Amino acid sequence: MQARMKNPAMILSEAMPAILEVYNATKQGGVPESTLELVHLRASQINGCGYCVYGGAMVARKAGVSDEKLFALAAWREAPWFTDAERAALALAEAATRLSDRADPVPDEIWNEAKRHYDERGLAALVLMVGVTNLFNRLNATTRQVAGPTW
């Protein structure tokens, strides 16, 4: 596989610092970095962004995510290793990534469960992480960025 072009945010180099600022801001919301990285990885799995799945797994591991969680992330609902707070964050990430799957993309049930575990800053961090992840996924998938050790 070969990329169609470099990542557009690298070509228009003014864009990358702004995108990374949003990504880094998510870490200021009080949500554990490991949870933010699980959210990033799950949204990337849904979107089929190989570049972000590969890189996301590496970053998640560095953030302290266990192999059990990494291996079972796609089936987090059935896996015993996730906390209730992580499950709420993952449900929110899935709903916010799959906007067109239902008439009410993020139902109150999902939002309220996330709100039970995270305050407003934490919710902001999660929503921003989903948003910036979806941006990265769309840039990388459209231009066919190659996953792997070059990451």
Are the CB atoms for 119 and 30 separated by under 8 Å?
Answer: yes
Length of the chain: 151
Q: At what angle do helices 108-117 and 84-97 cross, to 10 degrees?
A: 140
Structure tokens at 145: 């960025």
Q: At which residue do the structure tokens 């995108």 appear?
A: 19
Mean pLDDT, to the nearest integer, of 12-25?
95
Say what the pTM is: 0.94
Q: What is the pLDDT of residues 46-87, one digit of tens each?
A: 999 999 999 999 999 999 999 999 999 999 999 999 999 999
Q: How far is CA 31 from CA 25, 35, 140, in A?
A: 11, 7, 26
Are the CB atoms for 40 and 21 separated by under 8 Å?
Answer: no
* Domains of the chain with CATH codes: 30-139 (1.20.1290.10)
